[in-house]
Chain A
């Protein structure tokens, strides 16, 4: 974001663009990358409810992917998955 002058921004640090943190990608903090095995996944959503970064994408009650723009690679999803469907891999290696 371009830095604004005092006449251009709202007073007191007020932010009216709710949820604009999505413009800030935390994915590049990651050193470990969660890889989900669709075949093992049963869509139990344990990973989704435990992810600190809302990075497990769910649609119609089914996991449709991991949002690597925001996933910080904490590994919680991999630990809580009852079906060992998520594996943590070194970032970069596939």
Chain B
């Protein structure tokens, strides 16, 4: 368990005055991540909401060394920074420990950045890549990504008379990352800050590439009130749409609330109830689309059962 009192003594490394929307999950995640880090960090950021809103020239919200290069290359960029660090450390030009982080949204991670990410993971750089996953290209006006949930209406997968929003399930990026056999990866949610901070600390203490996929509520794209962000990122976990788990040296493990569900200690909530609270799914709640809606619940069930099996349940 983390002590919030202790954490609150740390310096805020993401300064206020950034221009992320009210209630944005991304800055909650970044704050929690930076509070978790014990060593100094250097950050690479993919193009996206977080990058744009925190560094509108001549202002920056970052109190740590930070670089944005392009959309698809946050993993390659931080890999370059980390490699230079390794050389300087080997030569004795730097002696202190520094950690290397990358932040990318789901567009910059699942889609355009997956090659650079995969390459960096395979090469074994000592980095932590964090995907703040809000399930669409929110920065450019809510276009679908390969992380967009089935059924969500986005500006490029709009719910029409015939097509009920996005027709495909998101790809399972965390499992794809796990298949790189890196020391540590997992999924978490800012609503469970204990889980999130614990995982960041584990990732940063591991040697080699690590990855966290963090669900990041977006009031604008998900279409919910700004005060609902934490509730939405919580219910995503309790309904098993976004289970909390980690894969450590090949061992799959449910964590926190998800573990408790698997062990029968907590109630699993309904995916459809979670969806009902978000405007992006509103069009699905008609009699005609009931079968489609049911197929989503079924798919989430199936994935959850698969994950449980992998975790030894």
Contacts and interface: CB of A to CB of B under 8 A. Distances in A.
A5 interface: no
Contacts of B251: none
Nearest to B4: A45
A64 to B, nearest CB: 11
Given A50-B190, A61-B8, A74-B23, A55 B58 contact: no
Nearest to A21: B17
Interface residues of A, number: 41
Interface residues of chain A: helix, strand, loop or mixed (majority): loop
B227 A50 contact: no
A59 to B, nearest CB: 9
B34 to A, nearest CB: 10
A21 B61 contact: yes
A26 B15 contact: no
B226 A74 contact: yes
Interface in A4-35: 9, 13, 15, 17-26, 29-30
Interface in B1-37: 4-5, 7-9, 12, 14-28, 31-32, 35
A55 B12 CA distance: 11
Closest 8 CB pairs of A and B: A75-B227, A21-B17, A70-B16, A74-B23, A72-B22, A19-B15, A61-B5, A45-B4
A51 B190 CA distance: 11
Interface of A: 1, 9, 13, 15, 17-26, 29-30, 44-46, 48-55, 58, 61, 67, 69-70, 72-76, 78-80, 88
A29 B226 CA distance: 13
Contacts of A52: 20, 22-28, 31, 229
A80 B4 CA distance: 15
Interface in B185-235: 190, 193, 219, 225-231
Given A50-B230, A88-B227, A73 B16 contact: no
B60 interface: yes
Nearest to B197: A49
A76 B27 CA distance: 13
B4 A15 contact: no
Contacts of B229: 52, 74, 76
Contacts of A79: 227-228, 230-231
Interface of B: 4-5, 7-9, 12, 14-28, 31-32, 35, 54-64, 190, 193, 219, 225-231
Nearest to A1: B58
A24 B59 contact: yes
Contact of B227 (A1, A20, A58, A74): A74
A13 B9 CA distance: 32
A88 B45 CA distance: 33
A69 B27 CA distance: 17
A17 B61 CA distance: 10
A58 B6 CA distance: 11
Contacts of A26: 16-19
Contact of B8 (A18, A20, A48): A48
B18 A21 contact: yes
B226 A76 contact: yes
A17 B59 CA distance: 8
Contacts of A44: 4
B159 to A, nearest CB: 27
Given A21-B60, A49-B31, A76-B28, 7 more contacts: A18-B63, A19-B15, A20-B15, A21-B16, A45-B4, A50-B193, A54-B31
Contacts of A54: 12, 14-16, 31
A48 B230 contact: no
A5 B173 CA distance: 45
25 contacts: A13-B57, A15-B59, A18-B64, A19-B61, A20-B15, A45-B4, A49-B7, A50-B190, A50-B230, A52-B20, A52-B23, A52-B229, A53-B18, A61-B8, A61-B9, A70-B17, A73-B226, A74-B22, A74-B23, A74-B226, A74-B227, A75-B225, A75-B226, A76-B227, A88-B227
